């Protein structure tokens, strides 16, 4: 367990953690969030990302290439 006493399982990811999970830069994530392209949760001024919503977002993206 970590200092919170809840282990490593969390419901929400911080922006940097979400960017790492998506393999994009923090700046790119902020841009996509501001455009409403990536789903997020706002808790006051804090922005967090649900892992299941990020997975759904990725599942909805087309395969690259022409």
What CA–CA distance (Å, rounded) separates 13 from 50? Answer: 6
pLDDT digits (tens, 9 = 90+) for 4-50: 555 567 889 999 999 999 999 999 999 999 999 999 999 999 999 99
| Predicted local distance difference test score (pLDDT) of residue 63 | 74
- Whose structure tokens read 């399982």? 9
Token pair, residue 16, equals 């940097």
What CA–CA distance (Å, rounded) separates 34 from 3? Answer: 32
pTM for the full predicted model:
0.78
| Predicted local distance difference test score (pLDDT) of residue 65 | 59
What CA–CA distance (Å, rounded) separates 35 from 54? Answer: 15
Angle, alpha carbons 26-42-27 (nearest 5°): 10
pLDDT band with cut points at 50, 70 and 90 for residue 61: confident
């Amino acid at each position: 367990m970590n200092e919170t006493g809840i282990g490593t399982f969390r419901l929400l990811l911080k922006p940097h953690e979400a960017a790492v999970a998506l393999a994009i830069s923090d700046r790119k994530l902020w841009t996509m969030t501001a455009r409403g392209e990536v789903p997020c949760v706002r808790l006051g001024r804090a922005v967090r990302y649900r892992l299941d919503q990020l997975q759904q977002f990725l599942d909805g993206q087309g395969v690259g290439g022409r």
